[in-house]
Amino acid sequence: MQSLAPLLGGLALLCVFRFLNLPGGAFIGAIIGGTVARLLYARSKPPPQKLQGLSRILLGISIGTQVNRQTLGEIEAAAVPVLCMVIGILVFSFLLAKSMSKLSGMNFTTALCGASPGMMSVMIMLAEDLGGNVPVVAVLHTMKVFFTVGLMPFITESVKTGEAAFAAAAGPWVPASLAVYYGKILFLVLGGFLLEKLLRRWKVPSAEFLAGLFIASVCNPLFLQLEIFPPLWQLAALWIIATSIGTQISRQSLAAVKRYVLPCAVLVVTQISFGLLLGWILSRTTTIDRVTAIIGTCPTAMEAMVILAAEMRANVPLVTAMHTTRVIIVMIVMPLLVRKVSAKNTP
């Protein structure tokens, strides 16, 4: 019952947010549902660790399978400017986190995980693994998602100056052979489990997610050629992970977040404004249309941005590639930065 209550609360609000067609609604809804259950039922516990681990592997695979030959071709065509934009966003986010840490007294790991652009779920998992304040990081990324999702449709509509709209998505996709399709999925899941054990031995943060992401992003373009990951599986993974995050937000943690409300708001507005500027520059210096460039450089949760890209008829493979590239770089670089800064601050 202690784990069931937040799971049911997360599932209920996940369904409500999905029904309302809110971008990123599944993840945010499950977080809020888990949080409400924890606040109403103080003895609530996160879902079992093994279930969380499986969900992280599945989420990594679901993102990794979006890296296919088409995606690689899209990113190769604009590799240099896109890489410059990615590095620019990461450097700006690092400087912003460092300034926020000094001015507000926030723990540097918490500030960096909260300011880092990437998947909301991944940044929260990293904060947990690196010793950051998970509730503060969750609040920061939730603020960015709500701000971006609310504002982006108006921004994208205002910058559309005659660019050709991309063709609407095709009808529901059905694999030619279910046995072969699920055989490939099983291969990725088993490979993810094996790689996760190896990464755990090497003490790599967020080993489950990285294992799924790596195995899928390498194998899919080379020989699997999966067109889509089972949407229900991805939704279930998001539900478990988001609910577990929500159960970590208690009355005590919310009280601790109060002192950082203003710095968080300033960080969110500054970071998103910088991302919009980089998106405008990218659209002016390359053949990438403005909507795709703006969504691709927006420094907020990848989950919401990919969904938003589809709704705004942007170039979804390119947006996915830009955000995936950023997530991979962040996952590699951030632990090194945190350890380096921590070593400097240790007497």
Tens digits of residue pLDDT in 325-346? 787 787 778 777 777 766 665 5
* pLDDT reported for residue 1: 62
* pLDDT reported for residue 70: 72
Alpha helical stretches, state H, the chain: 4-19, 25-40, 49-64, 69-77, 79-104, 108-115, 120-130, 134-159, 178-201, 207-219, 231-246, 251-257, 261-285, 290-297, 302-311, 316-345
Q: Does residue 116 contact residue 141 with C-beta atoms inside 8 Å?
A: no
131-177, pLDDT tens digit by residue?
888 888 888 887 787 777 667 666 666 655 434 333 333 344 555 57
Q: Does residue 95 contact residue 101 with C-beta atoms inside 8 Å?
A: no
* pLDDT reported for residue 346: 53
* Residue listed under structure tokens 């520059």: 281
Cα 345 to Cα 347: distance, rounded to the nearest angstrom: 6
Whole-structure pTM over 0.75, yes or no? no
Cα 53 to Cα 88: distance, rounded to the nearest angstrom: 32
Look up residue 226 and give its DSSP letter: -
Residue 124 is encoded by which pair of tokens?
């929260």
The low-confidence residues of the chain, meaning pLDDT below 70, are: 1, 23-24, 71, 74-75, 118-119, 121, 149-150, 152-176, 205, 253, 256, 303, 307, 311, 341-347
* pLDDT reported for residue 171: 44
Residue 141 is encoded by which pair of tokens?
């990324």
* pLDDT reported for residue 168: 39
Cα 214 to Cα 194: distance, rounded to the nearest angstrom: 12
